[in-house]
Structure 1
Amino acid sequence: MSVNRRDLLRGAAATAVASTLPARMFAQTTVAQSEGVHLQTLSDGTLSLPRSFITGAMPAEADEILARYGVTGDALTPDCNVTLLQSGDRTVLFDVGSGTEFMPTAGKLADALAAAGVDPYDVTDVIFTHAHPDHLWGSFDDFGDMWFPNATHHIGRAEWDYWTDPNTVSTIGTERQTFAVGAANRLGELSDQISLFDDGAEIISGIAARATYGHTPGHMSFETRVGNQSVMIVGDAIGNHHVGFERPEWASGSDQDADLGASTRLKLLDQLNTDQMLLVGYHLPNGGIGYAEKRGNGYHFVSAS
Structure 2
Amino acid sequence: MISRRSLMTLAAAAVTAPLAPRRLWAGNTLTLGGMQIDTLSDGFLTLHGSFLLDGAPPEATDILTRYGIGTDQMTPPCNVTLLRDADRVVLFDVGAGHDFMPSAGKLAEAFDTLGITPEDITHVLFTHGHPDHLWGLLDEFDDPIFPNAEFVMGQAEFDYWTDPETVNTIGAARTTFAVGAARRLGVIADQMRLIADGDEVLPGIAAHLTPGHTPGHIAYELRSGSEGVLIAGDAIGNHHIAFERPDWHSGSDQDAETAAATRLRLLDRLASEQMPLIGFHLPGGGIGRAERTDGTYRFVES
TM-score (norm 1): 0.90
Indicate conservation of the 8 Å contact 1:233/1:279, yes or no: yes
CA contact (8 A) 1:210 1:221 kept: yes
The residue number in structure 2 matching 1:28 is 27
Deviations 1:120-170 (A, max 9, x none): 111000000000000000011223221101000000000001010111101
CA distance in 2, matches of 1:31, 1:54: 30
Instruction: Verify the 8 A CA contact 1:50 1:76 in the aligned structure 2.
Output: yes
Aligned residue in 2 for 1:109: 107
CA contact (8 A) 2:154 2:196 kept: yes
Residue 3 of structure 1: aligned partner:
none
Q: Any idea what the Cα deviations from partners look like across 1:209-252, whole Å, max 9, x if unmatched? A: 00100000000101002464200000000000000000000000
Matched, 1:82 2:87: no
Which residue pairs with 1:267 in the alignment? 265
- Using a 3 Å threshold, how does the CA distance of structure 1 residues 198 and 180 change in structure 2: closer, same or farther? same
1:112-261 pair list within 5 angstroms? 112-226=110-224, 228-261=226-259
Aligned counterparts of 2:273 and 2:247: Cα–Cα separation in 1? 20
Instruction: Give the distance between the partners of 1:81 and 1:59, measured in 2 at CA.
Output: 28
Output the amino acid matched with 2:229: V
Instruction: Give me the CA root mean square deviation.
Output: 1.7
Q: What residue ranges of structure 2 are gaps of 5+ in the alignment? A: 6-22
Percent identity of the aligned residues?
57
After TM superposition, the score normalised by the length of structure 2 is 0.91
Distance between the aligned counterparts of 2:109 and 2:294, measured in 1?
41
CA contact (8 A) 1:25 1:45 kept: no
Cα distance in 1, alignment partners of residues 52 and 266 from structure 2? 19
Runs of 4+ in 1 over 2 A off after TM superposition: 31-34, 226-229
- Give structure 1 stretches of 5+ with no counterpart: 1-16, 19-23
- The number of equivalent residue pairs is 283
